[in-house]
Amino acid sequence: MRRYDHAHDRVVLLGLVLVCAFQWACATIVQGGIPPSAFDFRNVVPVSQKDPSGWKAAKVKILLGRLSSAFPTAAYCDIEVGIPEINFRGPVPDGFAQLEAAAAADAAARIVLSQGIPPTSILCRRFQEEMERILSAAIPGVRVTKFLTPNVPHKTFP
């Protein structure tokens, strides 16, 4: 698996900003790449003797941004991903949950940012809804909300 290179993305992003600054028309650019490690799941409800049971959550403050000469957008969104420890399919390992959450966040960002929604709480809510819709296919029972669960530390990306 290739290591995620933040420095390379920053150089590419800076180059795109400079290209857009020197041209009158610039297409909308949406970049993803949130690493799975950004989703640090913590157990918040222990597993009981019955299946399904347990609950874990991860919090990430994600910067959603779009470069565009017409409508540049940037907003920090507080995202909490809640997942059952065991759903009707069986246990949900943290590594699997991290990979699926990162993929869903990237896909949801591309969808929502391409819709031209202004950088408001509406953008964040639409991002949460899209992410939950996408992630539900892989992990039934998932919930994507704003920060709700106490005592779960958050990470910030980027």
Domain housing 20? 6-157
pLDDT score, position 66: 64
Q: Determine which of 32-36, 48-52, 55-59, 143-147 has the lowest per-residue pLDDT on average.
A: 48-52
Query: Which residues have CB under 8 Å from 74's CB, separation 6+?
Result: 63, 64, 65, 66, 119
pTM over 0.85: no
Let me know if residue 29 belongs to a domain.
Answer: yes
- The pLDDT of residue 61 is above 60: yes
Let me know if residue 126 belongs to a domain.
Answer: yes
Q: pLDDT higher for 70 or 133?
A: 133
pLDDT score, position 74: 80
Pick from 141, 120, 122: nearest CA to 55: 141
> Across all residues in the chain, what is the average pLDDT?
80
Pick from 94, 91, 95, 104: nearest CA to 138: 104
Are 92 and 53 spatial neighbours (Cβ–Cβ below 8 Å)? Answer: no
Number of CB atoms found within 10 A of residue 140's CB: 14
How far apart (Å, rounded) are the C-alpha atoms in residues 50 and 133?
A: 26
Tokens 């779009």 sit on residue: 66
Q: Which two tokens stand for residue 95?
A: 């590594």
Q: Please state the domain count of the chain.
A: 1
Let me know if residue 78 belongs to a domain.
Answer: yes
To the nearest whole percent, how much of the chain has pLDDT over 70? 75
Q: pLDDT higher for 123 or 22?
A: 123
Q: pLDDT higher for 90 or 1?
A: 90
Are 126 and 112 spatial neighbours (Cβ–Cβ below 8 Å)? Answer: yes
pLDDT score, position 12: 34
Let me know if residue 38 belongs to a domain.
Answer: yes
Let me know if residue 1 belongs to a domain.
Answer: no
Measure CA 100 to chain center. 10
